[in-house]
Structure 1
């Protein structure tokens, strides 16, 4: 397919971009503790510039020193200019263009107890503490800080700057009546609530050259906020911002004070391009250059947005996390080779908010954040390597080994590739996961990997292939429920239901309220009379990432699925499930029981024993090692495939 419009250049003031694709500001945790640029962050951006991206934006960059949190970039003092210039120079040398996102974080800087939290109005928080609203002096200091930061961005060689006025940060909190309760000239009417933002825009504009574009990230409207902003108010504000000097509108959605945070890093559960029509309306009614944002992860989708005039540019963020060569591949017509983002959020969002993960990563791209370290090095000792298991872990290992020059033979016991990732794609709203797993199999074939289906790995096969090393990625199987009645005919497991091998109807009880149990509940509730989920822990969905959990729990609530926590199944009868809850025995009537209590690694003692007896190195990865998230599986596969 020809993506002529997507890859046509665009000129904004004195800046010409080679295409209409923006790699947006996304939190990485790659800055130093004291807020400086790192080589890791430079490599991350350079990879996307080399990959053909049109315009890179740094992640949020603090403009005001007292409110600058640790581990986030800062441009609040001159000492940061040198490092930021190294980043801009590197992107330019890679053929790209780069901008800085100017940021005053508000509540978001609370991750650092030393950072000053700034809000337009007094705000009560947990423990009865009140965050005081900004004084007029605070407002003037912040306004000046935006201008000084813009000056530094120019000195550091950036092509443009972006004023972040969305996502619950200080500027958004001023313009939104949900947060701004001031009664002075900075509160009340839309004009007054906009005053701080307009003053910041003017301060920025006065400190950058006339031919440098000023972008602004803005929410299309407020979600889940009482008395929040409407799109009509946003349109009026954007017209004001245009007069003040804004050139480009980057139309986002979401806030981190409510469930609307799901729109900031939208999981697979949200429709692709869910915010595009808002961008189209704002473009139409303001006449401004507009960037569409929100689950745009396919070049054909992006081309349609540009060609139909819905936006002038598109953000492809996580699509380029998953594949830094996204743009080059799309432009050259190699669409089938693109490694697609599946909106799982496991590495990019869950990794970002986790205190245990040093920086973001990606299920589809374990090299994210390790671009230099993980460059593929061709082997000078090609080996035949047998891979047991054709799920995502086995496929990741096989593709990487083949790219390095080895001879991987991938054996899958079933008649198809993709493993549990294909099964996961059977759950509501997760079709893209199934498509990605199937595509991964096709990419392995295209790479020349030898694939043998319906072929379990045995000692005889290892001997026959003369494999020098073995990778065991045979995954896990559903755990069985060990209670009286578990073998009754109306009892099945989650895998059987998701695979469509067993149809359940009537009243259904699901034993296990983790991710898989909840997805089964969503799948069957529309054809069942009543669905009850029984969970031993104090809440369901504990293994779900934060943003996916929001959507899944909303869906369960709307569908009327009943959840029972702090309860365990003690017996199954012909027409009921017996549970123990709060030291009391209860019965739940049902026609079917679905067991979803987790998975246990499949046994491979015969392979292990043969390899050890014959001194053949072997590696156990993914769920075969221990049942966990798919993110762990691909990470382990990538590491092993680079070490062999």
Structure 2
């Protein structure tokens, strides 16, 4: 069996897990923006991962205290939530899995709901003239009691384990950290006093659950960017104390919402794989406790390596389960190319999470996330031959889904390789996972035996000759080239030619466009020794990036020495100069080369549509062929087209 270590069972007290893969708690908003109860949507979501073979599911954060329980998150703060939680645990158990509830008091994080009480250890000034008062001793005691009552409800609801969240600036972490807790009484000051509140919470939990029920604890390995914050030595010392009070497993995480270190909580592709692994290994060694690292572990090969090197006992693979609920089953069976790999884009998980116009999170790789029942795939009773024009990620997704449903996809790609723009984007720094995921998707198509024609553009004549039962047009987009003086000069190129490596540039390079593709081209060229200036007409570069990627990319841009000129309108390219206007003043930027990176425009599908109409062939246009957007949109539209044929 592949990945023997990863799929070795483990017993923790009375709980036996079938393997070492743990799906950590992740916010979903599947409760609805105005709810706190388990919904059928959330049940289907968890049941799908249990059926997919994950060792244990963990709920998203689940509020323990009634007054500070925000809407849009689960709650276990009152008995009225127990029936819904019972339905959730029953569904997971019936699907062959185990489930842990993450007990939570969110401190500052609950402020997204104006009705929820915000609790902080000590007075905290959040803006001029507005300070949140520190908790009274009476309120501290009531929250400690609330943890115990919540743990008791968890037992009644049928959970297999509980997890005490002691990280990410939530209340227990805030008490523990000297960078946040500035109390002067028995709950603050020196390290020992700062441990008092979280330790009393653990005692309260342990006293209200059976001896055989495990307690997990999620904790930051140290504080980032917080003056006076937790050191790793303090974390190790606290974990030893927590172990004596009944904590069984340490879930090693990182990040806080007070600084840009928030990016470690939902780490983007810019962060290294397993950036917490070595720290977790040290904590494990010095505490002697069962330990599991979180953070950018997205392949079974890497997870197996961590276990074989004896650096962990279990592995947190959370977003891997969002991208593919069958991740574990596929890995166990050795079907690696069929896995939809998380690429750390954060587009569907984090960006949707903070967007109140979205019902719940989604995933670039998995449009059915949160819609497991609504978008369930069914086998066709009438197999059709479907011509797919375009072998980018949308075309690959369509071919995969059509094949799963029993249709006969035939894929045509104009270039000499599959992967399209997403493969090209994978050439940019820190986007190796993007390229890997696309290559695996292409390999999956090959292994399924789907007919593929490279170097073959889809023409009306080809469609008439093939006579398909349906057509999916996924021909993507191409660089938008503005009407600009000097655009035809030999030293002017575009981001596609740069990232595909068809043009080798040197010297001073001006990148015209400071959005995602412009910054990718800029970093790519900077790594190859060019001196880069990015020109952006808006007030900042990277505006189209999500929050977490924006933090990481802006940091990389600053560290690399790439210059940026914002609020700059490009007027012309002449005599190896890029002429821009900034606040009414013209500036000339020296340019051995200029790179146009102002975005993409859709390729025309007019001929394909016209012949389909003429031959009465059903057709579907998906992805950038409709309008240049994100890969998330392209994959979602391809999935839906293939599901409906």
The TM-score with structure 2 as length reference comes to 0.98
8 A contact 2:571–2:579 mirrored in 1? yes
Give 1:30's aligned residue: 30
- Structure-to-structure mapping, 1:315-354, within 5 angstroms: 315-354=316-355
Provide Cα deviations, 1:429-476, integer angstroms capped at 9, x if missing partner. 111111211111111122232111111111111111111221111000
Give 2:108's aligned residue: 107
Give 1:8's aligned residue: 8
Instruction: Give the C-alpha shift of residue 40 in structure 1.
Output: 0.8
Runs (4 or more) in structure 1 with deviation over 3 Å come to: 526-529
Instruction: Give the C-alpha shift of residue 490 in structure 1.
Output: 0.8
Partners of 2:337 and 2:629 in 1: CA distance: 28
Give 2:20's aligned residue: 20
Structure 1 residue 296 corresponds to structure 2 residue 302: no
Partners of 2:310 and 2:611 in 1: CA distance: 62
Partners of 1:14 and 1:469 in 2: CA distance: 54
Give 2:405's aligned residue: 404
- Structure-to-structure mapping, 1:242-281, within 5 angstroms: 242-281=243-282
Instruction: Give the C-alpha shift of residue 641 in structure 1.
Output: 0.8
Instruction: Give the C-alpha shift of residue 278 in structure 1.
Output: 0.7
Instruction: Give the C-alpha shift of residue 3 in structure 1.
Output: 1.5
8 A contact 2:337–2:441 mirrored in 1? no
8 A contact 1:402–1:448 mirrored in 2? no
Structure 1 residue 442 corresponds to structure 2 residue 429: no
Partners of 2:516 and 2:127 in 1: CA distance: 30
Aligned length, in residue pairs: 644
Partners of 1:452 and 1:527 in 2: CA distance: 34
2:60 aligned counterpart, secondary structure: strand
1:34 aligned counterpart, secondary structure: coil
8 A contact 1:504–1:528 mirrored in 2? no
Give 2:228's aligned residue: 227
Partners of 1:327 and 1:612 in 2: CA distance: 44
Partners of 1:351 and 1:76 in 2: CA distance: 26
1:362 aligned counterpart, secondary structure: coil
Instruction: Give the C-alpha shift of residue 527 in structure 1.
Output: 3.3
Give 2:98's aligned residue: 97
Partners of 2:443 and 2:246 in 1: CA distance: 49
Instruction: Give the C-alpha shift of residue 188 in structure 1.
Output: 0.8
2:504 aligned counterpart, secondary structure: coil
Give 2:474's aligned residue: 473
Give 2:76's aligned residue: 75
8 A contact 1:507–1:528 mirrored in 2? no
2:471 aligned counterpart, secondary structure: strand
Provide Cα deviations, 1:161-186, integer angstroms capped at 9, x if missing partner. 00000001111111111111111111
Give 1:486's aligned residue: 487
- Structure-to-structure mapping, 1:201-600, within 5 angstroms: 201-600=202-601
Greater mean alpha carbon deviation, residues 609-618 or residues 180-189: 609-618
**Cα RMSD between the aligned structures?**
1.1
Provide Cα deviations, 1:239-284, integer angstroms capped at 9, x if missing partner. 1111111111111111121111111111111111111011100010
Greater mean alpha carbon deviation, residues 144-153 or residues 537-546: 537-546
Partners of 2:240 and 2:436 in 1: CA distance: 42
Cα 1:452–1:121, aligned 2, differ >3 Å: closer, same or farther?
Answer: same
Greater mean alpha carbon deviation, residues 196-205 or residues 303-312: 303-312
Partners of 2:334 and 2:486 in 1: CA distance: 56
Instruction: Give the C-alpha shift of residue 529 in structure 1.
Output: 4.8
Mark the runs of 5 or more structure 2 residues left unpaired by the alignment. Answer: none
Instruction: Give the C-alpha shift of residue 593 in structure 1.
Output: 0.4
2:195 aligned counterpart, secondary structure: helix
Partners of 1:210 and 1:369 in 2: CA distance: 35
2:26 aligned counterpart, secondary structure: coil
8 A contact 1:61–1:103 mirrored in 2? yes
Partners of 2:608 and 2:248 in 1: CA distance: 63
Partners of 1:17 and 1:594 in 2: CA distance: 53
8 A contact 2:300–2:331 mirrored in 1? yes
Provide Cα deviations, 1:528-568, integer angstroms capped at 9, x if missing partner. 45211110111110111111111111111011111111111
Partners of 1:589 and 1:502 in 2: CA distance: 19
Partners of 2:503 and 2:486 in 1: CA distance: 18
Partners of 2:602 and 2:421 in 1: CA distance: 13
Partners of 1:500 and 1:529 in 2: CA distance: 14
Partners of 1:249 and 1:436 in 2: CA distance: 30
Give 2:150's aligned residue: 149
Provide Cα deviations, 1:194-226, integer angstroms capped at 9, x if missing partner. 100011000001100111111110000001111
Partners of 1:285 and 1:231 in 2: CA distance: 11
1:597 aligned counterpart, secondary structure: coil
Partners of 1:532 and 1:136 in 2: CA distance: 56
1:125 aligned counterpart, secondary structure: strand
1:100 aligned counterpart, secondary structure: strand
Greater mean alpha carbon deviation, residues 138-147 or residues 608-617: 608-617
Partners of 1:247 and 1:610 in 2: CA distance: 65
Partners of 1:607 and 1:303 in 2: CA distance: 47
Partners of 1:538 and 1:357 in 2: CA distance: 26
Partners of 2:334 and 2:579 in 1: CA distance: 58
